[in-house]
């Protein structure tokens, strides 16, 4: 359903490859100028989604609307969409200048205008000194910028990025995240960014659509997805370290649970099914070591993972484990097997149905 002001809208889009359903009633919309992330592991349909928007894939059902125009069956040309592929897909026999110029020459743009836009794009991407080089002589980060420049030079209204940072090392990925955000602000583009990387999605996406099996299971801002995951799938994909999950049974008071760590309170929220089986989700940052006078849960240290200024400490009770994040100073001197009584913030506990995995609000 296209919404007013939407730059892009997909409504009930499905795509089959034989018996494999790549997209399953996929529906979402993206506002003009938004940096929108499609997030999920491999094979959830992210690339197929981008290729469908670009016109490289024709859906078997549903509609694709760009700027209010139905382009479901429209040709690639004229959509105002440009796509950067994971493999960069540069022309190895052409210089950087000619890689930039190629789409403009195909569009029969005048030579003087091509030269102006190539030099302007190269300056924006800090590639002026590389214009006469071939792609094989460039670093991975430079090749990525050339791929971006070749898309940006066409001045698309929508830029599609298909896992563009996957082939870069950690430092280059960090640098390119900042570069992509800068370019987004500078050009005011609508950007749709597909990534399996949680950090990329959370740090870059103004809004994120979490995908599973060809459909969006939840969409929202990074804070919304972190604070209120709709189900266990989203809860375990968003947040680092990932959310702890422990088996629990509701108690008769409808506001506390029996767990392997003891009785855990969940505030004054009313539970729908007294003594029902539940799964409790607890963020590592919402657990702390008990202080004098606290009503604590008994646990012992299971694993210690120093990470510089913080330490991830796993504690165990009755065969289940919880991870918590402690300041480095608090973890100094802790050893495996030590008693480590803990306190869990009851207001931050997430409750999920044991059978369906759906969140109970």
How far is the CA of 9 from the CAs of 20, 201, 208, 331, 356, in angstroms?
24, 20, 15, 49, 29
Pairwise CA distance, residues 87 & 347, whole Å: 45
The distance from CA 198 to its chain's CA centroid, rounded to whole angstroms, is: 5
Pairwise CA distance, residues 179 & 192, whole Å: 15
Domain locations along the chain: 8-230, 244-353
276: tokens are 């029902």
Q: Name every residue whose Cβ is closer than 8 Å to that of residue 314 and which is 6 or more positions away in sequence.
A: 301, 302, 303, 304, 305, 321, 322, 323, 324
Superfamily in which the 244-353 domain is placed by CATH? Nucleic acid-binding proteins (2.40.50.140)
pLDDT of residue 177: 86
pLDDT of residue 195: 94
Q: Which residues of the chain have pLDDT under 50?
A: 1-5, 270
Tell me whether the CATH fold assigned to 8-230 matches the one assigned to 244-353: no
Choices 3.40.50.300, 3.40.50.720, 3.40.50.12780, 3.40.50.740: CATH for 8-230: 3.40.50.300
pLDDT of residue 275: 59
pLDDT of residue 173: 82
pLDDT of residue 114: 94
pLDDT of residue 3: 40
pLDDT of residue 6: 59
pLDDT of residue 304: 94
Q: What are phi and psi of 336, to 5 degrees?
A: -60, 135
Pairwise CA distance, residues 82 & 265, whole Å: 51
pLDDT of residue 269: 52
The distance from CA 211 to its chain's CA centroid, rounded to whole angstroms, is: 9
Q: Whole-model pTM?
A: 0.87
């Amino acid at each position: 359903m296209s919404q007013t002001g939407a730059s892009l809208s997909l409504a009930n889009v499905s795509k089959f490859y034989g018996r494999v359903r790549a997209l399953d009633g996929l529906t979402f919309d993206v506002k003009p100028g938004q940096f929108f992330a499609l997030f999920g592991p491999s094979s959830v349909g992210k690339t197929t989604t981008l290729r469908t928007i670009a016109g490289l894939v024709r859906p078997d059902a549903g509609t694709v609307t760009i700027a209010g125009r139905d382009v479901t069956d429209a040709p690639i040309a004229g959509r105002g969409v440009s796509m950067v592929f994971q493999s960069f897909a540069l022309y190895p026999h052409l210089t950087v200048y000619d890689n930039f110029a190629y789409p403009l020459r195909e569009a029969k743009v005048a030579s003087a205008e091509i030269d102006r836009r190539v030099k302007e794009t190269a300056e924006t991407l800090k590639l002026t000194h590389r214009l006469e080089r071939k792609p094989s002589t460039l670093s991975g980060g430079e090749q990525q910028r050339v791929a971006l420049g070749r898309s940006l030079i066409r001045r698309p209204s929508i830029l599609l990025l298909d896992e563009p940072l996957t082939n870069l090392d950690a430092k280059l990925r960090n640098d390119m995240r900042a570069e992509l955000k800068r370019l987004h602000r500078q050009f005011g583009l609508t950007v749709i960014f597909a990534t399996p990387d949680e950090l990329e999605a959370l740090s870059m996406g103004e809004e994120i659509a979490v995908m599973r099996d060809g459909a969006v299971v939840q969409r929202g801002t990074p804070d919304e997805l972190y604070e209120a995951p709709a189900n266990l799938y989203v809860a375990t994909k968003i947040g680092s370290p990932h959310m702890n999950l422990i088996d629990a049974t509701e108690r008769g008071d409808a506001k506390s649970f029996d767990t392997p760590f003891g009785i855990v309170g969940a505030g004054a929220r009313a539970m729908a099914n007294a003594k029902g089986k539940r799964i409790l989700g607890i963020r590592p940052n919402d657990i702390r070591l008990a202080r004098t006078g606290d009503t604590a849960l008994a646990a012992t240290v299971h694993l210690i993972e120093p990470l510089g200024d913080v330490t991830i400490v796993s504690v165990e009770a009755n065969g289940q484990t919880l991870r918590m994040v402690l300041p480095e100073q608090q973890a100094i001197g802790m050893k495996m097997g030590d008693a480590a009584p803990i306190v869990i913030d009851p207001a931050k506990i997430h409750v999920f149905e044991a059978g369906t995995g759906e969140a109970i609000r």
